A and B are shown apart, each in its own frame.
Chain A
Amino acid sequence: MDGATLHRIGLFIQYAWPLLLLLSTYVIGTIIEKRHFSSIRQREQDCIAMPVVSFDTMPDDWQAGASTLVTGSIVISLDYFKRVVAGLRALFGGRIKTYEPLLDRARREAVLRMIEDAQSQGFDAVFNVRLQTSRLANSWGEGNSVAGVEMLAFGTAVKLGSGLAPGPERS
């Protein structure tokens, strides 16, 4: 291999590689995101009958037989494409639109996992649902760069007294 070929390879790596990385992470990231959203929609449909509310006290007509803390958490990361576009956005300001679907997925997935936690233990409803986000720092970049976010959903799951389970047909 002569010097000119090596030089061309060097140029390719220097200029084409970032673009290829950008495009391929966009394609892969989009596929993953679409799949995740369709899974989320399906599972939301499956557990639609379970009341999940954010009241911090139990509604008066619920009669709890048992209660426990249920949690659902997800750790989710950006793809390179989202990160680059967000980086550009950070120059000019404005809504970081590429982050919005990511955080929407995180919120809904966390809530779903919390519901699944409650269902698996035989609970009927969850109240006082709260969401919490924390940033996970990367070890590189002096700990300032972001590896991803954790979204935590938690609430109080209750078993409702017999015949008192609230549902669409009850009031």
Chain B
Amino acid sequence: MKHVPRQPRDGVNVSTTHPLAEAGTLIAGLAALFVVFVLLTVFLVEVVLYFVPAEKEADLFSSWLPDDLETVSPDDERLVATQALVDGLALLWPESPYEFRVEIDNSDVANALAFPGGLIVVTRGLLDDAETENELAFVLGHELGHYHNRDHIRALGRGAVLALFFAVTTRSDVSGLGLNVGDLTLRSFGRKQELAADEFGLALVNQHYGHVRDAWRMFERWQEESGSPSNAGAIAAYTSTHPQTADRIRRLEQLAMREGWLLDGPVTALAW
């Protein structure tokens, strides 16, 4: 038998597509998929908001508690006082379909959260940080603002998009990058909601006390403690869920000015 020497041919087993073109096509495809996810979820959330009015939501979740909450006993004096403060603020929003319930979560991180059905969770850290009732009232008013704009339902939608996107991409090595970009896009929606909630909260505080003194005093203290300069840069601001503290304070001051709300008045001490 004759042996015909031949070199293996290049290109038989290797596609000619340029690797960068391949990467570009796939990334564009993934981005398109993500846009579809976001639009679909925005649509679904609007459908939910339409078919489940606030009254229905308040009814559905009236006795619901998140599982991982470390609550304090119902007769805790700080809980009673905070609940009374929320009830007082809620009187200024008579159309509200919610019956607001307050729970204290045993966590050091200062935070307040709005859950479906009118459940407001404040952390022990937040109560420890508050020095006057006016400071606390603004944070609670801000949470009421979230209910007013029904942001807590929209936030569920945002969580759902991220969870879905994570589920799809988690099996590939791009999950980190894709999630970062996706989260970045969604966070800008979040910041607009926070500012709208701030406006609602400050209006409540002004009605309640007749002035807005000390409303954002807690933010100013946090800012002083963190020692960060007043402007940490545009990129930094873009990437945080909540508006930059300095930006937030500035907007609150401008709002108070515009509305002619008094910046001075008697400060109410905390009930405990």
Q: How far is the CB of B240 from chain A (nearest CB, A)?
A: 9
B1–A45 CB distance below 8 A: no
A3-B228, A88-B30 given; A98·B19 CB < 8 A: yes
Q: How many residues of B contact A (CB 8 A)?
A: 41
Taking the complex as formed, is A41 at the interface, i.e. its CB lies under 8 A from any CB of chain B?
yes
Which of A2, A44, A45 is in CB contact (< 8 Å) with B228?
Answer: A2
Q: Which residues of A contact B71 (CB under 8 A)?
A: none
Taking the complex as formed, is B160 at the interface, i.e. its CB lies under 8 A from any CB of chain A?
no
Taking the complex as formed, is B260 at the interface, i.e. its CB lies under 8 A from any CB of chain A?
no
- Provide the bound-state CA to CA distance between A71 and B23, in Å: 36
Interface contacts (Cβ under 8 Å), in number, total 116
A59–B23 CB distance below 8 A: no
Q: Give the contact stretch, choosing among A101-109, A129-137, A148-156.
A: A101-109
A4–B173 CB distance below 8 A: no
Taking the complex as formed, is A66 at the interface, i.e. its CB lies under 8 A from any CB of chain B?
no
- Provide the bound-state CA to CA distance between A131 and B266, in Å: 86
Taking the complex as formed, is A57 at the interface, i.e. its CB lies under 8 A from any CB of chain B?
no
Taking the complex as formed, is A140 at the interface, i.e. its CB lies under 8 A from any CB of chain B?
no
B8–A171 CB distance below 8 A: no
Q: Which residues of B contact A3 (CB under 8 A)?
A: 226-229, 232
A87–B174 CB distance below 8 A: yes
B13–A19 CB distance below 8 A: no
Q: Which residues of B contact A81 (CB under 8 A)?
A: 19, 23
Q: How far is the CB of A133 from chain B (nearest CB, A)?
A: 13
Taking the complex as formed, is B168 at the interface, i.e. its CB lies under 8 A from any CB of chain A?
yes
Taking the complex as formed, is A36 at the interface, i.e. its CB lies under 8 A from any CB of chain B?
no
Q: How far is the CB of A54 from chain B (nearest CB, A)?
A: 13
Closest B residue by C-beta to A51 = B3
B173–A95 CB distance below 8 A: no
A168–B3 CB distance below 8 A: yes
Q: How far is the CB of B84 from chain A (nearest CB, A)?
A: 37
Taking the complex as formed, is B73 at the interface, i.e. its CB lies under 8 A from any CB of chain A?
no
Taking the complex as formed, is B106 at the interface, i.e. its CB lies under 8 A from any CB of chain A?
no
Residues of A within 8 A of B (CB): 2-4, 7-8, 11, 14-15, 18-19, 26, 30, 37, 41, 44-45, 48-49, 51, 53, 59-61, 80-92, 95, 97-98, 100-101, 103-104, 107-108, 125, 166-168, 170-171
Could you list some 18 contacts between A and B, CB below 8 A? A2-B229, A4-B236, A7-B236, A14-B180, A18-B180, A30-B19, A37-B10, A41-B10, A51-B5, A60-B1, A81-B23, A85-B22, A87-B171, A90-B172, A97-B22, A100-B13, A100-B14, A167-B3
Known pairs A19-B177, A44-B7, A108-B8 / 10 extra A-B pairs, C-beta < 8 Å? A4-B229, A4-B231, A4-B232, A41-B7, A85-B19, A85-B23, A91-B26, A91-B172, A168-B5, A171-B2
